[in-house]
Structure 1
Amino acid sequence: METIEDTEFRGDDWYGDELTERAYKRCTFSQVDMTEASTRGVVFEDCVFHNVRFNASRHTDSAFLRCSFKSCNFFDADFDGCKMTGSQFGQSVMRPLRVEGGDWSFASLHGRDLTGAVFRNVRMREVDLTAANLSGATLTNVDLSGAALGEVNLTGADLRGSDLTSLDPLTVRLRDAVIDGDQAVVVAQALGLKVQ
């Protein structure tokens, strides 16, 4: 696998490019256009992305480890089996976004607008979703154990099959959210109710 280290990419046009089997370490990407680009088996480690357009991009079995995304646009982006562990998404446009499988543990999505986003079968342990807007979102079969969920908006969200043990029903918005029977017991217990 080709490895590129400590390199700055500024204003590059990667529109529609197909990136495969390569690694970027401690690289900086500024104002790079990755619209409709695709990655497969690509690793970005400790990289910084500033004002990068990921619109309609597709990522399969790739990894963005401990990366920082600042003012990036993920409109209609798709992540399949990707690792985003420890990455931070500051002031980035995150919707609509589709995520299938993979590991987003320890990522920070603090305050992000994720309205209508789709997360299925994703590991999101200790993810920071504080004050995020997930209204109308799909989070099914998601491991949210240890997640920071204070003040998160889950209005109308589909949460079936997900781990809600970190959820405090008194600090989030849950109106019209969809949960299953097992989750109802967890929520009731979090409210101090006795389930018999």
Structure 2
Amino acid sequence: MDNPASLRDLPYADLLQPHEGAGLRSGERYDTVHFDATAFGGVEALDARFLECALTDCAFTDGSLRGCGLNDVFVSGSRFVGTSLAETEWQDGTADACVLAGVEAFGARIRRTVFRRCKFESVNLRSATLREVVFEDCVLRDTDLGGATLTDVSFPGTALHRLRLGRAALTRADLRGATVLDLADGHEALRGATITPGQLLDLAPALAASLGVAVAAPGIPLPGRTRRR
């Protein structure tokens, strides 16, 4: 998986042209366009297509990019706040040092994409499909992956706080590199994941509770029972 660290690392860097105009349009195709230090407040750009584009230091506040396609796109230092990314399609992309807060991304399809040093706050990824995705040195807080499908997804150096995995399907998901593994629900979804022995010990009480297993030391009466005299 290609993982460009900066704009100059992009194979299409010399082809990029500055974005002209103040906004984005629904259904528009943007090819080798560089969006730089631009604020998109309340933008409505449904089903737009971005091919070999770069977005650096941009700000998206409210508005909707629902149904957009992002193919081989580099996003750096950008913020998405209260913006809809529902049913978007990401492929062969990189997001570096970005912030997503209060974002709706349910039904998104994300493939061969790297999120590096990104911060997710209350992001709704319910029913999303993630394949060959890397979350590297990120923070995911109150992220909802309920009903999502995760295949070949890894989390090196990433802190997962109150992650929701209810009814999610994990296949070859590698959680061993996560610095924090805190699940709000969906412990049963871990059957398709790999974790470390230490993470297993930390998760043991919640895993037991999700399976209905009572854990008690010898000699302690079981719940609902009293000792015979």
Q: Name the CA shift for 1:4/1:48 in 2 (closer, same or farther; >3 Å).
A: same
Q: Tell me if the contact between 1:137 and 1:158 (Cα under 8 Å) persists in the aligned partners.
A: yes
TM-score, structure 1 as length reference: 0.73
1:52 matched to 2:80? The reply is: no
Q: Deviations over 1:53-85 (max 9, x none)?
A: 341413313215232242424314223222153
Q: Tell me if the contact between 1:8 and 1:29 (Cα under 8 Å) persists in the aligned partners.
A: no
**Matching residue of 2:181:** 167
Please show how residues 1-196 of structure 1 align to structure 2 within 5 Å. Answer: 1-3=16-18, 8-9=22-23, 12-138=24-150, 140-158=152-170, 160-164=172-176, 165=178, 166-168=180-182, 171-180=184-193, 182-183=194-195, 185-191=197-203
Q: Tell me if the contact between 2:120 and 2:143 (Cα under 8 Å) persists in the aligned partners.
A: no
Stretches (4+) displaced over 4 A: none
Q: Distance in 1 between matches of 2:113 and 2:67?
A: 20
Count of residues paired in the alignment: 188
Q: Name the CA shift for 1:168/1:32 in 2 (closer, same or farther; >3 Å).
A: closer
Relative to its length, the structure with more helix (as a share) is 2
Relative to its length, the structure with more strand (as a share) is 2
Q: Distance in 1 between matches of 2:165 and 2:35?
A: 36
Pick the structure with greater CA Rg.
Answer: 2
Q: Distance in 2 between matches of 1:34 and 1:102?
A: 23
Q: Tell me if the contact between 1:114 and 1:137 (Cα under 8 Å) persists in the aligned partners.
A: no
TM-score, structure 2 as length reference: 0.65
| One-letter code aligned to 2:67 | N
SS at match of 1:189: helix
Identity of aligned residues (%): 7
Q: Tell me if the contact between 1:67 and 1:86 (Cα under 8 Å) persists in the aligned partners.
A: yes
Q: Distance in 2 between matches of 1:52 and 1:192?
A: 40
User: Per-residue deviation at 1:184?
Assistant: 5.9
Q: Name the CA shift for 1:114/1:89 in 2 (closer, same or farther; >3 Å).
A: farther
Q: Distance in 2 between matches of 1:30 and 1:96?
A: 20
Q: Deviations over 1:110-157 (max 9, x none)?
A: 251422431423134232242523334205241253323315225343
Q: Distance in 1 between matches of 2:129 and 2:153?
A: 14
CA-atom RMSD, angstroms? Answer: 3.2
